[in-house]
Protein backbone atom coordinates (compact mmCIF):
# COMPACT_ATOMS: atom_id res chain seq x y z
CA UNK A 1 0.00 0.00 0.00
CA UNK A 2 1.48 3.30 -0.99
CA UNK A 3 1.20 6.67 0.73
CA UNK A 4 -1.25 8.07 -1.81
CA UNK A 5 -3.75 5.25 -1.18
CA UNK A 6 -3.44 5.73 2.55
CA UNK A 7 -4.03 9.47 2.29
CA UNK A 8 -7.20 8.94 0.24
CA UNK A 9 -8.69 6.74 2.97
CA UNK A 10 -7.95 9.03 5.92
CA UNK A 11 -11.03 11.30 5.50
CA UNK A 12 -13.36 8.29 5.36
CA UNK A 13 -11.69 6.70 8.38
CA UNK A 14 -12.07 9.94 10.34
CA UNK A 15 -15.73 10.19 9.36
CA UNK A 16 -16.26 6.58 10.46
CA UNK A 17 -14.60 7.32 13.79
CA UNK A 18 -16.83 10.37 14.25
CA UNK A 19 -19.96 8.33 13.53
CA UNK A 20 -18.85 5.56 15.87
CA UNK A 21 -18.10 7.91 18.75
CA UNK A 22 -21.34 9.86 18.32
CA UNK A 23 -23.38 6.64 18.07
CA UNK A 24 -21.73 5.31 21.22
CA UNK A 25 -22.27 8.48 23.24
CA UNK A 26 -25.91 8.85 22.17
CA UNK A 27 -26.82 5.18 22.60
CA UNK A 28 -25.18 4.79 26.01
CA UNK A 29 -26.75 8.05 27.23
CA UNK A 30 -30.22 6.91 26.13
CA UNK A 31 -29.52 3.46 27.56
CA UNK A 32 -28.57 4.91 30.94
CA UNK A 33 -31.80 6.88 31.14
CA UNK A 34 -33.90 3.85 30.21
CA UNK A 35 -31.88 1.58 32.50
CA UNK A 36 -32.73 3.61 35.58
CA UNK A 37 -36.43 2.91 35.02
CA UNK A 38 -35.74 -0.75 34.22
CA UNK A 39 -33.69 -1.20 37.39
CA UNK A 40 -36.38 0.40 39.54
CA UNK A 41 -38.98 -1.72 37.76
CA UNK A 42 -37.02 -4.90 38.49
CA UNK A 43 -36.90 -3.97 42.18
CA UNK A 44 -40.59 -3.03 42.25
CA UNK A 45 -43.08 -5.02 44.29
CA UNK A 46 -45.64 -4.52 41.51
CA UNK A 47 -45.55 -8.00 39.94
CA UNK A 48 -46.45 -7.08 36.35
CA UNK A 49 -43.85 -4.31 36.20
CA UNK A 50 -41.23 -6.52 37.84
CA UNK A 51 -41.82 -9.36 35.38
CA UNK A 52 -41.87 -7.07 32.35
CA UNK A 53 -38.56 -5.44 33.30
CA UNK A 54 -37.01 -8.81 34.14
CA UNK A 55 -38.13 -10.25 30.79
CA UNK A 56 -36.74 -7.21 28.96
CA UNK A 57 -33.35 -7.53 30.63
CA UNK A 58 -33.34 -11.31 30.14
CA UNK A 59 -34.13 -10.98 26.44
CA UNK A 60 -31.69 -8.20 25.57
CA UNK A 61 -28.83 -9.64 27.61
CA UNK A 62 -29.50 -13.16 26.35
CA UNK A 63 -29.55 -12.49 22.63
CA UNK A 64 -26.52 -11.41 20.60
CA UNK A 65 -26.37 -7.74 19.72
CA UNK A 66 -25.86 -8.58 16.04
CA UNK A 67 -29.17 -10.48 16.05
CA UNK A 68 -30.88 -7.47 17.62
CA UNK A 69 -29.41 -5.19 14.95
CA UNK A 70 -30.59 -7.49 12.16
CA UNK A 71 -34.03 -7.79 13.71
CA UNK A 72 -34.52 -4.04 14.11
CA UNK A 73 -33.08 -3.14 10.70
CA UNK A 74 -34.45 -5.97 8.54
CA UNK A 75 -37.25 -7.87 10.31
CA UNK A 76 -39.29 -5.09 11.94
CA UNK A 77 -39.94 -3.27 8.63
CA UNK A 78 -41.17 -6.58 7.19
CA UNK A 79 -43.56 -7.05 10.12
CA UNK A 80 -45.25 -3.69 9.69
CA UNK A 81 -44.69 -0.62 7.53
CA UNK A 82 -44.85 1.48 10.70
CA UNK A 83 -41.27 0.41 11.48
CA UNK A 84 -39.82 1.61 8.17
CA UNK A 85 -37.50 4.55 8.77
CA UNK A 86 -37.26 6.91 5.81
CA UNK A 87 -35.69 10.26 6.56
CA UNK A 88 -34.57 10.98 3.02
CA UNK A 89 -30.94 10.70 4.09
CA UNK A 90 -29.38 7.27 3.67
CA UNK A 91 -27.03 7.93 6.59
CA UNK A 92 -29.86 8.50 9.07
CA UNK A 93 -31.85 5.59 7.64
CA UNK A 94 -29.05 3.37 8.93
CA UNK A 95 -28.01 5.40 11.97
CA UNK A 96 -31.41 5.42 13.68
CA UNK A 97 -31.93 1.60 13.77
CA UNK A 98 -28.36 1.18 15.02
CA UNK A 99 -28.99 3.79 17.71
CA UNK A 100 -32.20 2.04 18.78
CA UNK A 101 -30.55 -1.39 18.94
CA UNK A 102 -27.50 -0.16 20.85
CA UNK A 103 -29.63 1.90 23.27
CA UNK A 104 -31.97 -1.01 24.04
CA UNK A 105 -29.04 -3.37 24.56
CA UNK A 106 -27.12 -0.87 26.66
CA UNK A 107 -30.21 -0.26 28.81
CA UNK A 108 -30.45 -3.95 29.68
CA UNK A 109 -26.84 -4.20 30.79
CA UNK A 110 -26.87 -0.90 32.67
CA UNK A 111 -30.14 -1.82 34.41
CA UNK A 112 -28.44 -4.80 36.02
CA UNK A 113 -25.51 -2.62 37.10
CA UNK A 114 -27.81 -0.01 38.64
CA UNK A 115 -29.98 -2.62 40.35
CA UNK A 116 -26.94 -4.33 41.84
CA UNK A 117 -25.48 -1.02 43.03
CA UNK A 118 -28.72 0.00 44.75
CA UNK A 119 -29.18 -3.40 46.34
CA UNK A 120 -25.57 -3.43 47.54
CA UNK A 121 -26.25 -0.53 49.90
CA UNK A 122 -26.61 -1.83 53.43
CA UNK A 123 -30.19 -2.18 54.65
CA UNK A 124 -29.19 -0.27 57.78
CA UNK A 125 -28.82 2.89 55.70
CA UNK A 126 -32.38 2.54 54.47
CA UNK A 127 -33.71 1.75 57.96
CA UNK A 128 -31.84 4.70 59.51
CA UNK A 129 -33.30 7.10 56.96
CA UNK A 130 -36.78 5.75 57.57
CA UNK A 131 -36.26 6.07 61.33
CA UNK A 132 -35.41 9.74 60.81
CA UNK A 133 -38.80 10.16 59.16
CA UNK A 134 -37.75 10.33 55.52
CA UNK A 135 -40.28 9.08 52.99
CA UNK A 136 -39.36 6.35 50.52
CA UNK A 137 -38.60 8.78 47.63
CA UNK A 138 -36.51 10.99 49.92
CA UNK A 139 -34.69 7.95 51.33
CA UNK A 140 -33.84 6.77 47.84
CA UNK A 141 -32.83 10.18 46.47
CA UNK A 142 -30.96 11.52 49.51
CA UNK A 143 -29.42 8.44 51.11
CA UNK A 144 -29.35 5.33 48.91
CA UNK A 145 -28.75 6.68 45.38
CA UNK A 146 -25.80 8.95 46.28
CA UNK A 147 -24.04 5.97 47.84
CA UNK A 148 -24.96 3.73 44.91
CA UNK A 149 -23.50 6.20 42.41
CA UNK A 150 -20.03 5.61 43.83
CA UNK A 151 -20.46 1.90 43.17
CA UNK A 152 -21.89 2.50 39.69
CA UNK A 153 -19.02 4.46 38.21
CA UNK A 154 -16.45 1.65 37.64
CA UNK A 155 -18.75 -0.85 35.90
CA UNK A 156 -20.58 1.81 33.87
CA UNK A 157 -17.26 3.31 32.79
CA UNK A 158 -16.09 -0.11 31.73
The CA-based dihedral angle spanning residues 66, 70, 73, 75, taken in that order and rounded to the nearest 10 degrees: -150
Alpha-helical (H) ranges within 43-143 are 47-62, 65-70, 76-79, 90-119, 123-131, 136-139
Predicted confidence at residue 102, as pLDDT, reads 96
Tell me what pLDDT residue 1 has: 64
Q: What is the DSSP letter of 83?
A: G
Residue 87's alpha-carbon distances to 48, 71, 92, in angstroms, are: 36, 19, 7
Mean pLDDT (10-residue bins), the chain, 158 residues: 81 91 95 94 94 97 95 89 77 88 96 94 91 91 91 88
Amino acid sequence: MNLHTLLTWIPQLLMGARVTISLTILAVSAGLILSLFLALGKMSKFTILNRFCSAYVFFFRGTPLLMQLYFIYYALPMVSPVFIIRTGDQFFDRFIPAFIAFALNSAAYCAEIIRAAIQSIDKGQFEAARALGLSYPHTMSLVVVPQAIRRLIPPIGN
